[in-house]
């Protein structure tokens, strides 16, 4: 008898710790209210049929494929094909029960290309609903690692583990302090009685798997590590890095990662001490580093950050996510986010002709 199951995964905003995860570093994401929901009906064959209402125009999309015949198409369906392929392989390795045919429906409120983990939320929610429907022995961390492999091996985006771990493990009202090398983590309470978290989507989408910027930055970090004789950039301090003679471009990329790791640790102390003023300053330093050293910001994102920083009730603002478009995150004084967001979006839209939106 066929049964119906539903699971969801929320998007994430990274408070600080950008481009550190694929360098074995530390990150500090939290969840957002937007989510992706997957409903699964089991079937008696080996087909996967997909209905999605995630199209920008609100139109449903219908696709299907056969289990065991997953093939890369360079479209969004690869997130699903990669998930079924790798999950089936994992269950075979465990010599445990496996999945079979299914009909799924996808509903998402996370803007695509917004830097808020829409792809991770899709992959994790799909893996979660398959785990539930087929009663699979797979942990949340295993799901996150599988979701990362889907992006790395099947989609072609060489992302780190932050998004998938955040989407799998982060909780509302808390930040996930994650060591991406050891996969150890702590949940830290956000002082939401003192501050609001404001997220603004620039309206400019990124496409990591299609563009070379993200993968290029990762390759540059790996090249720097070879020259430095270390495994990952987490293994060197800023003082040690200053003594090395890296090529200028690699020195800039490495400087961002090493200083960003240090900022994550400082941010953790700020949360523990509820020091929003200092945390806001760290946001500003992080954005400047991504703009100048890592060069993943764009003028429109810089404008959003500047417009936020011009308001006296903003502690700090920064690009969040991988960059090349996407969103910013700002910390504001309690109760002021709605006013600030409305003012910033109106001014940004007037100056750029883009359509920014406020998210939570």
Catalytic positions, please? Answer: 163
Q: Do 321 and 205 form a contact (C-beta atoms < 8 A)?
A: no
For residue 59, the Cα-to-chain-centroid distance in whole angstroms is 25
Distance linking the first and last C-alpha atoms of the chain: 40
Distance CA 127, CA 345 (A): 35
Q: Residues 30, 144, 18, CA angle at the centre, nearest 5°?
A: 45
Using alpha carbons, select from 249, 271, 351 the residue that is nearest to residue 307: 351
Helix/strand/coil for 35: strand
The contacts found for 125-129 with CB under 8 angstroms, 24 or more apart, are: 125/7, 125/8, 125/9, 125/35, 125/36, 125/37, 125/38, 126/38, 126/79, 126/80, 126/83, 127/83, 127/87, 128/7, 128/9, 128/38, 129/5, 129/6, 129/7, 129/38, 129/39, 129/40, 129/104
Using alpha carbons, select from 195, 192, 96, 87 the residue that is nearest to residue 144: 87
- CA separation, residue 343 to residues 2, 46, 84, 88, 201 (Å): 51, 52, 44, 49, 14
Distance CA 294, CA 261 (A): 14
């Amino acid at each position: 008898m066929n049964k119906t199951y539903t699971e969801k995964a929320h998007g994430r905003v990274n408070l600080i710790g950008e481009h550190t995860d694929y360098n074995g570093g530390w990150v500090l994401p939290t969840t957002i209210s937007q989510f992706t929901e997957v409903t699964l009906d089991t079937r008696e064959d080996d087909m996967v049929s997909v209905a999605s209402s995630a199209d920008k125009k609100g139109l449903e999309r219908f696709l299907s494929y056969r289990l065991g015949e997953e093939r890369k198409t360079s479209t969004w369906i690869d997130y699903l094909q990669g998930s079924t392929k790798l999950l089936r392989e994992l269950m075979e390795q465990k010599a445990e029960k496996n999945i079979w045919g299914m009909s799924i429906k996808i509903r998402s409120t996370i803007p695509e290309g917004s830097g808020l983990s829409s792809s991770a939320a899709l992959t994790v929610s799909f893996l979660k609903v398959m785990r539930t429907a087929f009663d699979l022995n797979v942990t949340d961390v295993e799901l996150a690692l599988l979701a990362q492999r889907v992006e790395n091996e099947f989609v072609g985006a060489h992302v780190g583990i932050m998004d998938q771990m955040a989407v799998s493990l982060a909780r509302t009202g808390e930040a996930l302090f994650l060591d991406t090398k050891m996969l150890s983590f702590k949940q830290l309470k956000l002082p939401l009685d003192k501050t609001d978290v404001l997220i603004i989507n620039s309206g400019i989408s990124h496409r990591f798997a299609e563009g070379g910027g993200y993968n290029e930055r990762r390759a540059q970090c790996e090249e720097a590590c070879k020259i430095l004789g270390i495994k990952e950039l987490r293994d060197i301090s800023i003082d040690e890095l200053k003594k090395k003679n890296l090529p200028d471009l690699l020195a800039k990329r490495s400087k961002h990662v090493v200083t960003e790791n240090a900022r994550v640790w400082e941010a953790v102390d700020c949360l523990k001490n509820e020091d929003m003023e200092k945390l806001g300053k760290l946001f500003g330093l992080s954005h400047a580093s991504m703009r100048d050293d890592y060069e993943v910001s764009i003028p429109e994102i810089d404008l959003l950050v500047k417009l936020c920083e011009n308001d006296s009730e903003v502690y700090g603002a920064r690009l969040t996510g991988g960059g090349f478009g996407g969103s910013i995150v700002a910390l504001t004084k309690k109760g002021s986010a709605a006013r600030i967001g409305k003012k910033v979006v109106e001014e940004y839209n007037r100056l750029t002709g883009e359509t920014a939106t406020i998210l939570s």
